Structure 1
């Protein structure tokens, strides 16, 4: 293996998946370099040797990731306690390997293995490889190479352990809030800028936890451990439960991810809801893998009157692509465009262009983040249909929201 290959294996390992990919690559390289049939990384867990990573060209490998054997029946334990040499050129010639059932079980003819030792001195397991035939060419130079690669694997495994522990902590933390009572929905009013009346509310999650953590932190962590949809759906259910508290001409806007739409979860949640009173917001920051599939997934709900909003327009290219591909009912101007629009000509002209475009395609424009009267007046001058922001009303509990209509 070239030194650059070693460097590449150490760079960029910043999550569990990338570490796993690198460990698998290491196994493949070592197996091919030493002309072996199988290479594997094992972990010692509760008195067993567990295969964590396996590399082989066989279509019918003798072991799979997750398989295990009692430690006392393995080469691995004997290599760690020095009762078996790191190199066995012919297992039939060795008194220990010849008698071990694992030799026949895995069809081991020749074998090399070294311990994987973590920085705290703990033995994680072993880095091993073998072939079905004997190999009298295996030597100490090969062993030195295997030891060097094992050191790299050890470093990556420590990263993997760290990431796995972090994921477990995150999962436990997210599981602790997967309870409707831990999510309090606040509602921020959306005003019609012509009539100065409330037309609807954007629903925003607030987590009742100590210490307090912002919603974006909770949803990001949930996504990291595969609980993003569960948390999102729970928040949406809490939000739409508030519909009954408002008059029938008031709608609720819900933030959702494309994945939750594409897999049908949104359709299920909204199956018994008056779709005309719901707006789904898709943000600029949410990539959509297939616009065609997205449109098909939403088609039944949109036929029932559900409206689609593209959030964060003006914040980047993706929002414009969303608009062109999805033909939304509402375009929401991003707060970065709204702030100081009265004294920034570039922002004013971009908003003007978006307003003209929205009118041409029959879209409603909502400006977010309005905080001053000067911003509000500039947006009214542009003909913006609706607006929301701290100047008009902060997010509030539902009882306050109902009273402000």
Structure 2
């Protein structure tokens, strides 16, 4: 109709950019760094600006943490910094400059800053980034060397929307960083103080009634009090898996000299600490025919061929490999097929009620048959009743561990078992 404005399809599409971005980003895809950078790209394109950035205020300086630029040679880069007092950002936050500037050359307070003429700065929008605790992190900004007199309150409102969104992402990142630092400190303190000990759970030959080995288990006495797997998971998260795991194994190895020569020790070890050579260094000089390494259902092995090659020199010298938690899930069966372990340890979930559950009994019998065909030994874990022991004997499982057969004990107590 006459008198109606003709819609620009490109402009209409660009106007949707911020809303599409916020919608897709709310789905949680991408890292926080990627999401924040995408936010800068979206707002720069939407407002037709040349540079967009997130700046942090730190120790009297403005530090550029994220930058998106239309220029091949951007005037600012991530990591750059300048005095906070000489920046637009500080003056916007304290009210000396407005958040929206259509043309900086028309603002006397902006002309006091040398960058206005040197850049030059034309249009400029800057909004404080306020974190969840009320602290000002810095600013969410964009600018162009050209004036833009079309900028208005709606554009500023969208800037605030994006700033609020970005502040939430930064808070998540800061919170994750704090959590990472706290984890690192906890694990480092445990290592420095050696705030852990080893207990040894007997592995018994059911037919002969004698102890043939011990599984070594780590117990922590540092606060907060948590299960051992939480400590080892935290160590892996902060890059201290090798340090903690090898320290625990080194301490547990002291038990070898206190038990008979025909009794072995079994250690849980992560695949990464086999692949990186850590376990090779820790076991130097140790009689490997008395050592079993356990790999669990929960530990992923990305390259079985490489894993096998790394472990081969130790296995050639007598070390045995065990797959733990067999029957707990698909991964344990894949471990068994790929690694050809000398020992298969049946998961406690498979052993529980073995004497009354036909399904568990059938799966156990199948694993026993597999072990006989491949030359592996079966060890049942978590045995707690005499009925379970009787059923295991019927299924020709001759080795087991569990509270019925022996609780985990400190080193001083296991010496008295022989």
Please tell me whether the aligned partners of residues 180 and 238 of structure 1 are also in contact (alpha carbons under 8 angstroms). Answer: no
Does 1:243 find its partner at 2:259?
no
Please tell me whether the aligned partners of residues 10 and 156 of structure 1 are also in contact (alpha carbons under 8 angstroms). Answer: no
Q: In structure 1, the residue corresponding to 2:95 is in which secondary structure?
A: coil
CA deviation after TM superposition for structure 1 residue 180, in Å: 6.0
Residues 212 and 295 of structure 1: CA distance in aligned 2, closer, same or farther (over 3 Å) = same
Partners of 1:351 and 1:59 in 2: how far apart? Answer: 65
> Per-residue CA shift, 1:298-328, capped at 9, x if unaligned?
1222222221111100000011111111111
Partners of 2:350 and 2:279 in 1: how far apart? Answer: 30
Does 1:299 find its partner at 2:283?
no
Partners of 2:105 and 2:41 in 1: how far apart? Answer: 26
Partners of 2:56 and 2:293 in 1: how far apart? Answer: 47
The one of 141, 150, 155 equivalent to 2:163 is: 150
Match of 2:61 in 1: 48
Partners of 2:371 and 2:187 in 1: how far apart? Answer: 39
Q: In structure 2, the residue corresponding to 1:284 is in which secondary structure?
A: coil
The one of 152, 168, 185 equivalent to 2:198 is: 185
Residues 395 and 67 of structure 1: CA distance in aligned 2, closer, same or farther (over 3 Å) = farther
TM-score, length basis structure 1? 0.90
Does 1:32 find its partner at 2:48?
no
Partners of 2:367 and 2:403 in 1: how far apart? Answer: 23
> Per-residue CA shift, 1:83-117, capped at 9, x if unaligned?
12323445555545455355688775543211112
Q: In structure 2, the residue corresponding to 1:342 is in which secondary structure?
A: coil
Please tell me whether the aligned partners of residues 180 and 235 of structure 1 are also in contact (alpha carbons under 8 angstroms). Answer: no
Residues 67 and 193 of structure 1: CA distance in aligned 2, closer, same or farther (over 3 Å) = farther
The one of 115, 120, 126 equivalent to 2:139 is: 126
TM-score, length basis structure 2? 0.88
Does 1:69 find its partner at 2:85?
no
Match of 1:340 in 2: 353
User: Which of these two proteins has the greater Rg computed from alpha carbons?
Assistant: 2
Which 5+ residue runs of structure 1 have no aligned equivalent?
none
Match of 1:162 in 2: 175
Equivalent residue runs for 1:6-405 within 5 Å? 6-12=22-28, 18-56=31-69, 61-91=74-104, 94-98=107-111, 100-102=113-115, 110-179=123-192, 181-210=194-223, 212-405=225-418
Q: In structure 1, the residue corresponding to 2:355 is in which secondary structure?
A: helix
Partners of 1:401 and 1:59 in 2: how far apart? Answer: 70
Partners of 1:247 and 1:201 in 2: how far apart? Answer: 11
CA-atom RMSD in angstroms: 2.5
Which 5+ residue runs of structure 2 have no aligned equivalent?
1-16
Partners of 2:393 and 2:283 in 1: how far apart? Answer: 34
Partners of 2:284 and 2:69 in 1: how far apart? Answer: 49
Residues 106 and 219 of structure 1: CA distance in aligned 2, closer, same or farther (over 3 Å) = farther
> Per-residue CA shift, 1:47-78, capped at 9, x if unaligned?
22222333346665444444322211222101
